[in-house]
Amino acid sequence: MPPAAHRHGADLLRELKSSSTKWLKQETGRSNFAWQSGYGAFSVSHSDVGTVRNYIQRQEEHHRTKTFQEEYRQFLERYEVEFDEEYVWD
């Protein structure tokens, strides 16, 4: 990934975290909400946008049978992303 793309991605995530935290605290009263310190970002090809959109739309449904941690771990393993459990979860 080009350095400029990474920088823009980091800026985008920082703004997303800030805005969504403010919204969540105001709308739900969850004053103790906080994001974990890190994040993961993955790109998808244009031809897979529909599949990703469908996945997001059905996320609540499939998280009834599999936790986010289980799903994320499987994702990392499937795409051979090296990770250390100690640093993945805050």
Q: Residue 88: its pLDDT value, please?
A: 84
Express each pLDDT in 9-51 by its tens digit. 788 888 989 999 999 899 998 888 888 877 777 888 999 999 9
pLDDT-derived band at 90, boundaries 50, 70, 90: low
Secondary structure string (H, E, C) spanning the chain: CCHHHHHHHHHHHHHHHHHHHHHHHHHHCCCCCCCCCCCCCCCCCHHHHHHHHHHHHCHHHHCCCCCHHHHHHHHHHHCCCCCCHHHHCC
Q: What's this model's pTM, rounded to 2 decimal places?
A: 0.53
